Structure 1
């Protein structure tokens, strides 16, 4: 995979998240926007109010899996289609069922609040909650990518070395997503307004764009570096 292609694959998820943010800003989308009642009841609520930027993390995850499916690699078309369908179903299920936030935000909120109620300092409890949410979200991305077949050419080496590299990549990916989850969870503390109770204004959009970009940057660089190493090893 050429270096420019590696950067495109790595940057596509952030571009998708920022595009979704721009669409919400330009259209003035908020709770008053027309939406089927059943869908609105599943979308609006506590978790969207408390963690609004997760609404833009979902397009990030979807674009990540689609980028893996479309990137050059050894996987056949049938495996890519089936793997993408299964990966997207898992990601969206964990993120949106039974309502917005799914098990991802529920695991994060439950872990963090439980730790705090048991005497853990607030900062540490928040970190534990962010880790739980990042772990579920990252597991869906990792499993989906594995089902599709990761882009690039596998690096040479023994089975043990390849397993060791896979574990290190998984750990690094988790840490990057942990950082992202912790950062975007602080949206209201950073001054983000009450969207979706009212439309996004320019200040809210700028804060959200900054947090999404800063949060995604470590993961973006990690993916790009791994793909470029795979290219050099080919």
Structure 2
């Protein structure tokens, strides 16, 4: 197969926040810099997408791999999140299909119970918001007349409408956590800034700072603003649905 170039409309510039909110204040620390990259326009709707996988690509903005799908009828291309075991030359389809293979997308109503799925939309007509990280998958536990019960990666059981669209399979690149960066510069290329320990600071900068020689902080671990970091809950516990 002759190599088909990537259309320009599938890549675009994406404004970065560098961990700051709309007021310019830091809301996520230790972020900034990073290598310049273009955002890949991923088809998260998967309503009428059909075609052939022409290549698998690495996305600089996420650890999950992307698959570029080419439709020979319309001559259009699209990016999708590549599931595990998807290969070049595989057929990608969407909608109400008789056969169900890895990478095929359809409403939950037409997916058998006990299937593994990813790229799940929260409601009909919405883009996929759940189960998009590398190695992520959900387990379709049961279906009622109007809803489907799915076990998420966190262990939570959540109901979704039967018309919500999901993709069959598990997101690829499950071993991404085993990747060794090898040097500090690679971490900076990913947009991660250094993290300085509190005991290495001065007392004016952190409650653990100061002291003669090396110290352990002299008190239980706290944040730079004095809130406990171990043992004491600072946020409401997430409620998990029990069957």
TM superposition score normalised by structure 1: 0.23
> Larger C-alpha radius of gyration, 1 or 2?
2
TM superposition score normalised by structure 2: 0.23
Q: Which has the higher contact order (CA 8 A, sep 6+)?
A: 1
Name the one with the larger helix percent: 1
Name the one with the larger strand percent: 2
